[in-house]
């Protein structure tokens, strides 16, 4: 995308005021989104996102900048602007860029940008109409097919030069059921670091039907009465609670400045001994996988918690400097416009030893959260709130009627300790995780598990 | 190349492709920001970003393509991709390239100079230091941030429209954590103000004070309560559910206000206004994303729905004029229906203390979490984790947290019993600003212990 000579010039310019480290991140991304609503292809947009992000460090001080251009003058101007925020003299260090290739473990069989849009629209329609025709009470469906071809190049003053091409595809379908003046929604949105061959693995029809099934289930559901109770949380996107309430507090960005309830607790028990949690950016073709992170460190599989004991954090180079550690392939950014920081990739609670049927049987009165929606968490206190998009009352060990309006409220550190049964059907779900370095694709995951007691918000 | 040059090139390519109706929308922004924590500068960034979106009517459909690279190849690609995309679109929506209006509001841009890096750095270091002077329980890791931004949008089209507008803003933010015993409490405050007018000491004091007041917060008994939403949280509720007022959402069956114009949809205390020129907001726009002139409008007046918000397409379908709400918050996005400064207008119940006195008993809500997930604009349902204070005997009493408030936004509008006169604007979110006064909503379900 940019010649080595220019990259070096830019790095030298960035170091000109005494920074001890400089990095150039070059991006050229092509994105195509097709949207359907009201049974018609409504919009299609092709987008080129391209530019350069520059970062410099001096100790733990960092300055970053970006410019929407790949031209030498613009890059040098950006580097000069970034450098101007430090005040020193350049150290005489010479930069020798040597390219490194870490390999690509994510084969792409059908590159979406080389496929006709009419073909992509047909795939989307297949999912769309499966939802629309599922039941007479489905009043509206909206659907989108996204494909991204994200090309990055990272060069730094330590001589690293590397690239990655990240191709991702995702279909999202959302269905609304309407009955007696009320609406309820259901949605399903699987995605992978794959091309259009994704839809040989996952039939778009199943995506649509799943969204519609949830909406129909929920339009016929009553409301749950809130209170404290045991909750069984199903696999897949159920892992969002671990992601939000614990994963974020295991990112170096929170740990390094003491804004995490898990700071300084390596080797200590932070979860029940049933819990082993992993962040693994190396799963072939997974939505959150990367060959290299956005600092050019190769992706890793990191055991974060092993049988309840805190083992590791997700670390980027800058926060690593504050913690006396090296980055472990966890530094990510949405685009060149965002300064990168430590983030998750595919983060999940690993399979346990409990039988899934025993988990439900163990609950006298409680909630079975079959599908979780999103939620939010306060990283400093660990308090979280998650919505249950498809929930059922459990009575005497049996899953009974569906209930609406439930949310799970608690504290990350408490819920980790209160997970007292972990099943064996590990699966992952896809999300876009938002934080200071933008919105990035991540997988969440877990098997069916039980939290002995948690506050369920209802009405 | 420069945008002006790129623009000419794209127009030339569009003409070569025999397109007669097209538009180019351009956005550039210059941002500079700094953050301090642990008594040092932890982040400093400077961003110069720009992008342009081309759209054209081809075979009766509107095709889009956008780019951040202003090169010869991209000019050609924009036109070709937009045409290819138009050919796949099935929507029968009437699409428009707008001919323009004669009455665009003249908005004076406040002259400002881009602040110096050292001024930003000093400001956030001073603010961060200030936290610790307020209370010894303030934790390391509390953060101060400051940012300055300058935005320019321009729209030109084949109907001869050539508009542009610029604005700038500066913000100062405080995020404070406090530890008492083993428990951590936190909160934040953001102020939008002229860069030279920031009151750093006051912000440090107010933020620390806000957090310290929540120390010892415990849950509440489950039950039904009258809730007093702080002006900030009432504005937050509006920001969560504003799509209920979009004609685009309504025609898709995503708003229960569809077809309710002229009906009583809220209590008589409720008047909601969308004001593109609201004096206290830096969001002021003379034209929308389609080039339509903007104006101030009442959406709800004394409980009666006056109008939904429209763009050209939804207005055509409804047989009305566009309300000038066809907005593009990002240069590359389609034309959405969005408000500018969306406000619950001041009522007669006075400042919050007077509101407390009038209510007597209830919960004063000062924080709501889980909004992006625990609230559904299509159904109106919400279930949100909340924090606040008990109000008893007309006065603010002990802090409370870890409870959920649940209900339905459409019902909430009907249940508003008191509206204060203390309208405050929230911090703008993505180009839209929400505001409200202290507001009382009766009989909301609360789950605590």
Residue at A405 is within a domain = yes
Task: Indicate whether B171 and B247 sit together in one domain.
Answer: no
Residue in B closest to A69 by C-alpha: B69
Task: Indicate whether B207 and B283 sit together in one domain.
Answer: no
Question: What does the pLDDT average to over B205-213?
Answer: 96
pLDDT of residue B372: 64
Distances, alpha carbon A327 to alpha carbons A24, A295, A317, A443, in Å: 17, 9, 4, 20
Listed range (A89-103, A112-126, A384-398) with the worst mean pLDDT: A89-103
Residue at B437 is within a domain = yes
Whether pLDDT at B311 is above 70: yes
Residue at B218 is within a domain = no
Residue at B57 is within a domain = yes
Task: Indicate whether B171 and B255 sit together in one domain.
Answer: no
Q: In this complex, which of B85, B140, B183 lies closest to A117 when CB atoms are compared?
A: B85
The whole-chain average pLDDT of chain A stands at 94
Task: Indicate whether B204 and B296 sit together in one domain.
Answer: no
pLDDT of residue A387: 86
CATH code of the domain covering residue B202: 3.30.2290.10
Could you write out the DSSP letters of every residue in A143-166? EEEEEEEEEEEEEETTSEEEEEEE
Which of B176, B191, B212 is a domain's end point?
B212
pLDDT of residue A379: 67
Task: Indicate whether B80 and B151 sit together in one domain.
Answer: yes
Task: Indicate whether B257 and B169 sit together in one domain.
Answer: no
Residue at A295 is within a domain = yes
**Binary contact (B447, A459; C-beta < 8 A):** yes
Whether pLDDT at B239 is above 80: yes
Residue in A closest to B46 by C-alpha: A65
Q: In this complex, which of A85, A258, A407 lies closest to B44 when CB atoms are compared?
A: A85
Name the domain count of chain B: 2
pLDDT of residue A438: 92
Residue at A239 is within a domain = yes
Token output for A261? 């309830």
Q: Residue A312 sits in which domain range?
A: 227-457
CA distance A353 to chain B (A): 31
**Binary contact (A178, B253; C-beta < 8 A):** yes
CA distance A56 to chain B (A): 10
Whether pLDDT at A89 is above 90: no
Name the domain count of chain A: 1
Task: Indicate whether B127 and B275 sit together in one domain.
Answer: no
The pLDDT-based confidence of A382 (bands split at 50, 70, 90) is confident
Give, rounded to a whole angstrom, the gap between the first and last alpha carbons of chain A.
56
Question: What does the pLDDT average to over A105-119?
Answer: 94
Residue at B335 is within a domain = yes
Question: What does the pLDDT average to over B283-296?
Answer: 95
Residue at B416 is within a domain = yes
Residue at B400 is within a domain = yes
**Binary contact (B406, A67; C-beta < 8 A):** no
Query: b or e along B84-122 (b: 16 or more beta carbons within 10 Å of the residue's beta carbon)?
Result: bbbebbebebebbbbebeeebeeeeeeeeeebebeebbb
Give A-chain residues touching B64 at CB under 8 angstroms: 43-46
d(C-alpha B14, C-alpha B211), whole Å: 57
Task: Indicate whether B324 and B201 sit together in one domain.
Answer: no
Q: What percent of chain B has pLDDT over 90?
A: 81
Residue at B314 is within a domain = yes
Question: What does the pLDDT average to over A302-313?
Answer: 97
Task: Indicate whether B174 and B289 sit together in one domain.
Answer: no
Residue at A31 is within a domain = no
Give the pLDDT confidence of B97-120 residue by residue, as tens digits. Answer: 999 888 899 888 777 788 888 899
Which of B212, B241, B259 is a domain's end point?
B212
Residue at B310 is within a domain = yes
Task: Indicate whether B264 and B405 sit together in one domain.
Answer: yes
Task: Indicate whether B367 and B402 sit together in one domain.
Answer: yes
pLDDT of residue A99: 93
Whether pLDDT at B373 is above 70: no
Q: Residue B66 sits in which domain range?
A: 3-212
Q: In this complex, which of B373, B378, B448 lies closest to A374 when CB atoms are compared?
A: B373
pLDDT of residue B207: 96
Q: Is B76 on the interface with A (CB under 8 A)?
A: no
Which of B150, B184, B212 is a domain's end point?
B212
**Binary contact (A226, B447; C-beta < 8 A):** yes
Higher pLDDT: B390 or A376? It is B390
Q: Is A385 on the interface with B (CB under 8 A)?
A: yes
Whether pLDDT at A259 is above 90: no
The pLDDT-based confidence of A79 (bands split at 50, 70, 90) is very high
Query: b or e along B53-76 (b: 16 or more beta carbons within 10 Å of the residue's beta carbon)?
Result: bbbbbbeebbbbbbbbbbbeebbb
The whole-chain average pLDDT of chain B stands at 93
Residue at A322 is within a domain = yes
d(C-alpha A332, C-alpha B177), whole Å: 26
Give the pLDDT confidence of B146-158 residue by residue, as tens digits. Answer: 999 999 999 999 9
**Binary contact (A376, B185; C-beta < 8 A):** no
Task: Indicate whether B264 and B164 sit together in one domain.
Answer: no
Selected for mutation to probe chain A from B88, B151, B214 (highest A CB count within 10 Å) is: B88
pLDDT of residue B252: 87
Residue B377: partners with Cβ closer than 8 Å, 6 or more residues away: B240, B241, B242, B243, B244, B249, B254, B255, B409
d(C-alpha B208, C-alpha B211), whole Å: 5
């Amino acid at each position: 995308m940019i010649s080595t000579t220019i990259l070096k010039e830019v790095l030298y310019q960035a170091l000109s005021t005494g920074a001890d480290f400089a990095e150039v991140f070059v991006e050229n991304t092509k994105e195509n989104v097709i949207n359907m609503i009201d049974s018609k292809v409504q919009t299609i947009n092709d987008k080129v996102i391209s530019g350069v992000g520059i970062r410099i460090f001096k100790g733990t001080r960092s300055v970053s900048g970006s410019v929407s251009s790949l031209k030498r003058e613009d890059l040098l101007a950006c580097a000069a602007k970034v450098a101007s925020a430090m005040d020193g003299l350049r150290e005489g260090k010479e930069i020798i860029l040597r390219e490194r290739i870490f390999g690509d473990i994510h084969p792409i069989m059908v590159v979406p940008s080389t496929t006709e849009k009419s073909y992509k629209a047909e795939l989307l329609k297949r999912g769309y109409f499966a939802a629309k025709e599922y039941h007479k009470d489905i009043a509206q469906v909206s659907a989108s097919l996204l494909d991204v071809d994200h090309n990055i190049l990272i060069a730094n003053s330590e001589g690293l030069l590397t690239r990655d091409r990240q191709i991702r595809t995702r279909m999202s379908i959302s269905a609304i059921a309407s009955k007696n003046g009320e609406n309820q929604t259901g949605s399903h949105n699987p995605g992978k670091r794959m091309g259009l061959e994704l839809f040989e693995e996952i039939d778009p029809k199943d995506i649509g039907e799943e969204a519609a099934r949830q909406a129909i289930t929920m339009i016929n559901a009553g409301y749950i009465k809130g209170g404290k109770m045991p909750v069984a949380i199903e696999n897949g996107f159920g892992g969002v609670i671990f992601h939000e309430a614990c994963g974020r507090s295991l990112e170096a960005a929170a740990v390094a400045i003491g804004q995490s309830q898990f700071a300084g607790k390596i080797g200590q028990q932070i979860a029940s001994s049933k819990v082993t949690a992993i962040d693994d950016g190396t799963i072939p073709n997974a939505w959150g996988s990367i060959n290299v992170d956005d600092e050019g460190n190769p992706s890793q599989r990191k055991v974060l918690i092993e049988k309840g004991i805190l083992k590791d954090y997700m670390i980027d180079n800058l926060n690593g400097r504050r913690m006396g550690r090296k980055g472990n392939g966890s530094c990510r950014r949405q685009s060149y416009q965002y300064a990168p920081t430590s983030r998750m990739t595919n983060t999940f609670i690993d399979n346990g030893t409990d039988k899934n049927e025993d988990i439900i049987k163990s609950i006298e009165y409680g909630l079975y959260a079959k599908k979780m929606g999103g939620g939010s968490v306060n990283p400093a206190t660990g308090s979280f709130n998650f919505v249950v998009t498809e929930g059922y009352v459990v009575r005497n060990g049996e899953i009974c009627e569906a209930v609406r309006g439930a949310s799970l409220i608690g504290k990350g550190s408490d819920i980790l300790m209160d997970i007292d049964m972990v099943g064996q059907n590990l699966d992952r779900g896809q999300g876009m995780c938002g934080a200071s370095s933008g919105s990035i694709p991540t997988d969440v995951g877990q098997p069916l598990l039980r939290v002995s007691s948690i506050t369920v918000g209802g009405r | 190349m420069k945008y002006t040059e790129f623009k000419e090139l794209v127009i030339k390519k569009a003409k070569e492709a025999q397109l007669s109706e097209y538009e180019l929308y351009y956005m550039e922004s210059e941002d500079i920001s700094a953050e301090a924590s642990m008594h040092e500068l932890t982040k400093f960034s400077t961003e110069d970003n720009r992008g342009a979106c081309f759209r054209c009517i081809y075979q009766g459909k509107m095709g889009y393509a956008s780019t951040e690279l202003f090169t010869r190849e991209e000019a050609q690609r924009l036109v070709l991709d937009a045409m290819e995309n138009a050919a796949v679109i099935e929507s029968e929506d009437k699409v428009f390239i707008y001919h323009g209006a004669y009455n665009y509001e003249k908005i004076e841009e406040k002259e400002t100079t881009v602040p110096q890096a050292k001024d930003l750095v000093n400001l956030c270091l001073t603010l961060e230091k200030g936290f610790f002077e307020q209370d010894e329980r303030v934790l390391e890791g509390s953060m101060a941030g400051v940012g300055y931004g300058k935005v320019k949008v321009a729209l030109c089209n084949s109907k001869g429209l050539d508009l542009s507008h610029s604005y700038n803003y500066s913000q100062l933010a405080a995020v404070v954590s406090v530890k008492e015993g083993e428990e951590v409490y936190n909160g934040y405050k953001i102020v939008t103000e002229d860069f030279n007018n920031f009151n750093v000491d006051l912000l440090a004091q107010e933020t620390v004070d806000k957090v310290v007041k929540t120390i010892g917060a415990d849950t509440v008994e489950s039950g039904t309560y009258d809730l007093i939403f702080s002006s900030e949280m009432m504005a937050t509720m509006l920001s969560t559910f504003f799509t209920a007022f979009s004609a685009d959402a309504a025609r898709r069956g995503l708003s229960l206000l569809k077809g309710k114009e002229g009906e009583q949809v809220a209590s008589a205390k409720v008047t909601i206004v969308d004001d593109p020129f609201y004096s206290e907001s830096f969001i002021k726009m003379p034209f929308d994303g389609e080039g339509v002139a903007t104006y101030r409008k009442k959406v709800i007046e004394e409980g009666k729905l006056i109008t939904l918000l429209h763009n050209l397409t939804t207005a055509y379908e409804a047989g009305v004029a566009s309300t000038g709400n066809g907005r593009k918050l990002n240069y590359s996005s389609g034309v959405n229906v969005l408000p500018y400064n969306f406000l619950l207008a001041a009522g007669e119940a006075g400042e919050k203390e007077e509101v407390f006195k009038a209510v007597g008993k209830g919960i004063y809500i000062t924080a709501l979490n889980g909004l992006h997930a625990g609230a559904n604009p299509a159904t109106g349902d919400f279930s949100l984790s909340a924090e606040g204070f008990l109000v008893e005997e007309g006065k603010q009493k002990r802090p409370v947290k870890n409870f959920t408030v649940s209900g339905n936004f459409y019902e909430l509008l009907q249940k508003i019993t008191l509206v204060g006169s203390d309208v405050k604007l929230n911090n703008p979110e993505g180009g839209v600003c929400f505001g409200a006064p202290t507001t009382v909503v009766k009989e909301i379900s609360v789950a605590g212990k």
